[in-house]
Chains A and B, each alone.
Chain A
Amino acid sequence: MKTLTQTKLNLSGSKDTRNKGKKKYTLITDIFRNPFSYLLLLPAALYTFIYGYMSLPWIAIAFQKYSFRTGIFKSEWVGLKNFKFFFASTNALTVTWNTVYLNILFLITGTVAAVLIAILMNEIKSKWFAKVTQSTLLFPHFISWVVVSYFVYLFFSMDEGFINLQVLKTLGIPAVNWYQTPLAWPAILTFIKLWKGTGIGVIIYLATISGFDSEVYEASTIDGCNRWMQIKCITIPMLAPIVTMMTLLSIGGIFKGDFGMMYTIIKDNGVLLPVTDVIDTYVFRALRKVGDVSNATAVGLYQSIVGFAFVYGSNWIAKKYFSEGALF
């Protein structure tokens, strides 16, 4: 508590000197003008401070040769040496590219699918049908990646897989050796990600749609709008701010690979890795035996910094052209 107010005090103080009295409105003024809003903000701010900001000093181990005995205060500082292992590797570019490329793929398809399904579901009038289908969309969310990877194997295995044995055979197409066809995997992974993650997105968008003013819809019906025009002219524009914000939030994680997913499904399959190896799996594989915390933290920091820069940039653009969707 004390530290928090102190922080704010100091903050406003230093700000004043920087702005040379141009603006007298400081954080303190803000708090005094809106005491009750700040009261409401307090629990969340405190929680974030304790669990978020107080942990930050430990990022220092990314620049240290860390040892249990010496801790973060007395471990030897080694500068950027811990970053070297990743950036000096010939694969740094490939895995970074894979991470970003796959994440963008997931992001775009995921958003489109979730918005589409939410809109379509919104058009469903049968209540029990809506209830049942919405519930089932959530099922995959609960299945762990390990189990998912098993299902994936049941589908794509060469000799006994569902696709080869049932689908392709019926169509008269020769069996495909999926686990050795790198080109197919970005699509397969995208599909799996869609299958597992869309349910959550649909719920978010459905909740948003249900908050829309029904009078607008009624008015448009009177004006002779059909349902397609309603979707196009009312629903989609009104969903735009939340879609933009969700996208911005996802951009922050664009340099972080989904380790649980990639590692369980692909494992160490060297044939597929040129297109599916992401930063997180690469680092895990490289450090598996060595177990160096400093190296791992360094790579994590790199991912966060670049991600943050991207969010900051996109947020700036969003703010300029579409302020309702901006994050901050």
Chain B
Amino acid sequence: MKMQRLFALIMAMLIASSVLAGCASTTDTKTTESTQTQTQTKVVLEPKEKLPVRFVMPGDPLPDQELVEQAINKKMLQDGVNLELKAVYVPWDVWEQKTNLMMNTGEPFEILQVMDSWISAASIVGRGGIVPIGAAYLDKYGPNIKKVVPTWAFDAGMINGKIYTIPAFGIEPAVRTGFITYRKDLFDKNNIAIPKSPEELSTAIETIIKSEKDKKYMYVPDDGDQQEMLHRWYDSFPFIVYDQLLFIKNDGTVKSWVETEEFKKDAAFNRKLYVDGIISPDILSLKDDIKQNAYKNSMYPVDVGEGLGWWPQQKLNTPEAVFEDFLVAPEKPLLRSEAYTNSNAISATSANPEAGVMFFNWVYANQENYDLLHYGIKDTHWKDLGERKIEPINPDKPTYSYPTWMSENVSLMRFSKDIHPTLELIDTLKFPGIKYEDTTNFITLGFRFDTTPVATEYANCMSEANTTFRPLANGVTDYDKNYPKALAKMKAAGIDKVVAEYDKQLKAFIATKTK
């Protein structure tokens, strides 16, 4: 027995050391290699050689990807832009792992798509994955980008006082929240007016679902969006909820979200619907497909967020359904709590960081370039219907499909011919009865919470928010009965430390801003 243990131990040690030695040398050669190529490209590329633009984006390439890529490269050549685009697709399922791997192993590429709501730009910066772009770079290589993306959006995305990302500045962020989509035909049928308070909304949902019992209409509350629809009605608005953990008011007050009255009101709203049998008892484990099928078949009385986005499908499945939108508490100003959700950043592994900026400079230079990247070749992949509307050719066949949200821009984007008219009004800021000029920038706009000082507490609180408080928020469990125990767990996870840290960082941020 002893012999064996010794054997294992020594074996492991020796191997580890020999491997360390081996690996050390390989990494060394690798870095020298890359610096070599760096100097090489720097020297050689100056006169004529094209700079590579390897664009890492999620998804799988469609058959016509190469065709469009060639067209883009040809157009860039014509325009005298010395770049060569190469899209690098990373499948969704392994996006996190593979991009991590590429950054980790020094795989050279220029542009990384950053989805802030999933893996934040700040965390990629923290791990050393992307490099700052800087104002000078932007002035030199990206004048067109600055034309279509407002300075405040760049500022809002700053990390540690530096610009890292080129925002996909699409629809005005202020109109992305606050609207509720409702089935107008069902509201009319039941003589229900547009709700003016959470109570009225609750009654409307309940009346409609109960009146059409055999139809199985659904109301699916969920964290995030679904709760937000109530918030504009509350007196304390404007405020935001961050990661289901923190409650921040526009005057800079930071509180633990689950300890607020607002959380209690949300929970009570859902609890009533749950007890009355409106919210599915399986809500906590509900499958996404079931939710989606409900949307595709217009099986919901109200919804926020994506509601009208499903319209093209709904029109086919349920032509009788009529959808409209209303703004919650229209007398209150629109709130801009974030500038954008997606952006593109320059990889730290790139030998020519300017190439990425130059590429987007080309894309945003004119409508033609923008169209080519976002929608493919005109008259091969899409038809221009005028008034910024397009119609895809062969819509049921996957030919070319660039995820437009990755780099969309409000002044250049086009709309599908199937877009719901109301959605178009909202997106183009023409929805009636809104005082757009009153739109407020929320206090946290441009602020990034760095969780590192409270990483342990933060991770544990996140876990509690998902496990202990989710049933409460969705009305599955009774608030009064379960709250004390749940709160004790949240306290034990260290929520107070997280709140204090956020408060500290936000105060520091406000101080620098007012300076």
Q: Do chains A and B make direct contact within the complex (CB under 8 angstroms)?
A: yes
Chain B residues with CB below 8 A from A85, complex form: 455-456, 459-460
Chain B residues with CB below 8 A from A157, complex form: 282
* Interface flag for B469 (CB, 8 Å): yes
What's the Cα separation between A316 and B470 when bound, in Å?
45
CB distance B128 to A73 under 8 Å?
Answer: no
Chain A residues with CB below 8 A from B24, complex form: 73
If A69-B348, A90-B492, A270-B469 touch, does A7 touch B285 (CB 8 Å cutoff)?
no
- List residues 1-38 of chain B with CB under 8 A from any CB of chain A: 1, 3-4, 6-7, 10-12, 14-16, 18-20, 22-24, 27
Chain B residues with CB below 8 A from A71, complex form: 27
- List residues 1-32 of chain A with CB under 8 A from any CB of chain B: 3, 6-7, 10-11, 14-15, 18-19
- List residues 278-296 of chain B with CB under 8 A from any CB of chain A: 280-282, 284-285, 287, 289-290
**Cross-chain contact of A266 among B12, B19, B285 (Cβ < 8 A):** B285
Chain B residues with CB below 8 A from A267, complex form: 284-285
* Interface flag for B243 (CB, 8 Å): yes
What's the Cα separation between A88 and B457 when bound, in Å?
9
Measured CB to CB, the nearest residue on chain B to A75 is B128
What's the Cα separation between A266 and B286 when bound, in Å?
9
- Determine chain B's interface SS by DSSP, over half rule: helix
* Interface flag for B302 (CB, 8 Å): no
CB distance A290 to B103 under 8 Å?
Answer: no
* Interface flag for A191 (CB, 8 Å): no
- List residues 479-495 of chain B with CB under 8 A from any CB of chain A: 489, 492-493
**Cross-chain contact of B467 among A3, A153, A180, A270 (Cβ < 8 A):** A270
0/1 string, B322-344, CB within 8 A of A gives 1? 00000000000000000000000
CB distance B477 to A271 under 8 Å?
Answer: yes
- Please, how many residues of chain B have a CB less than 8 angstroms from a CB on the other chain? 58
CB distance B462 to A285 under 8 Å?
Answer: yes
**Cross-chain contact of A286 among B462, B468, B469 (Cβ < 8 A):** B462
Stretch with Cβ within 8 A of A (4 or more), from B82-90, B119-127, B379-387, B403-411: B119-127
CB distance B460 to A158 under 8 Å?
Answer: no
If A49-B15, A57-B19, A157-B282 touch, does A15 touch B128 (CB 8 Å cutoff)?
no
- List residues 330-384 of chain B with CB under 8 A from any CB of chain A: 348
* Interface flag for A233 (CB, 8 Å): no
* Interface flag for A159 (CB, 8 Å): yes
What's the Cα separation between A73 and B348 when bound, in Å?
18
* Interface flag for A328 (CB, 8 Å): yes
CB distance A271 to B476 under 8 Å?
Answer: yes
Measured CB to CB, the nearest residue on chain A to B477 is A271
CB distance B466 to A268 under 8 Å?
Answer: yes
Chain A residues with CB below 8 A from B19, complex form: 53-54, 56-57
**Cross-chain contact of B15 among A53, A179, A285, A292 (Cβ < 8 A):** A53
Chain B residues with CB below 8 A from A179, complex form: 281-282, 284-285
What's the Cα separation between A9 and B19 when bound, in Å?
16
CB distance A269 to B463 under 8 Å?
Answer: no
Chain B residues with CB below 8 A from A291, complex form: 96, 119, 123, 127
CB distance A7 to B463 under 8 Å?
Answer: no
Chain B residues with CB below 8 A from A37, complex form: none
* Minimum C-beta distance from A277 to chain B (A): 7
- List residues 104-119 of chain B with CB under 8 A from any CB of chain A: 104, 119
0/1 string, B70-111, CB within 8 A of A gives 1? 000000000000000000000000001000100110000000
* Interface flag for B58 (CB, 8 Å): no
What's the Cα separation between A91 and B464 when bound, in Å?
9
Interface centre among A3, A7, A49, A290 (most CB of B within 10 A): A290
If A54-B19, A54-B22, A289-B243 touch, does A91 touch B285 (CB 8 Å cutoff)?
no
* Minimum C-beta distance from A6 to chain B (A): 7
What's the Cα separation between A14 and B282 when bound, in Å?
62
CB distance B23 to A68 under 8 Å?
Answer: no
Chain A residues with CB below 8 A from B467, complex form: 268, 270, 273, 277, 285
Chain B residues with CB below 8 A from A11, complex form: 7, 10-11, 14
Measured CB to CB, the nearest residue on chain B to A10 is B14
What's the Cα separation between A205 and B18 when bound, in Å?
40
What's the Cα separation between A11 and B12 when bound, in Å?
10
0/1 string, A83-110, CB within 8 A of B gives 1? 0110011110000000000000000000
Chain B residues with CB below 8 A from A159, complex form: 280-282
0/1 string, A249-282, CB within 8 A of B gives 1? 0000000000000000111111111000100001
If A273-B467, A293-B100 touch, does A153 touch B287 (CB 8 Å cutoff)?
yes
* Interface flag for B471 (CB, 8 Å): yes
What's the Cα separation between A149 and B287 when bound, in Å?
9
What's the Cα separation between A137 and B492 when bound, in Å?
47
Chain A residues with CB below 8 A from B100, complex form: 293
* Minimum C-beta distance from B463 to chain A (A): 4
If A3-B18, A56-B16, A56-B19 touch, does A270 touch B284 (CB 8 Å cutoff)?
yes
* Minimum C-beta distance from B115 to chain A (A): 12
* Minimum C-beta distance from B495 to chain A (A): 12
- Other A-B pairs, 7, CB within 8 Å; known A11-B10, A289-B462: A56-B12, A56-B16, A89-B460, A150-B287, A158-B282, A288-B462, A295-B459
The contact sample of 29 A-B pairs, CB cut-off 8 A, is A7-B18, A10-B14, A15-B10, A56-B12, A56-B15, A56-B16, A56-B19, A68-B127, A68-B129, A68-B348, A73-B24, A90-B460, A91-B460, A150-B289, A153-B287, A157-B282, A177-B281, A268-B284, A268-B467, A270-B284, A271-B284, A271-B471, A271-B477, A273-B467, A285-B466, A290-B123, A290-B459, A291-B123, A293-B100
Chain B interface (Cβ < 8 Å from any Cβ of A): 1, 3-4, 6-7, 10-12, 14-16, 18-20, 22-24, 27, 96, 100, 103-104, 119-120, 123, 126-129, 243, 280-282, 284-285, 287, 289-290, 348, 451, 455-456, 458-460, 462-463, 466-471, 476-477, 489, 492-493
Interface pairs A-B: 4 shortest CB-CB: A69-B128, A286-B459, A269-B284, A158-B281
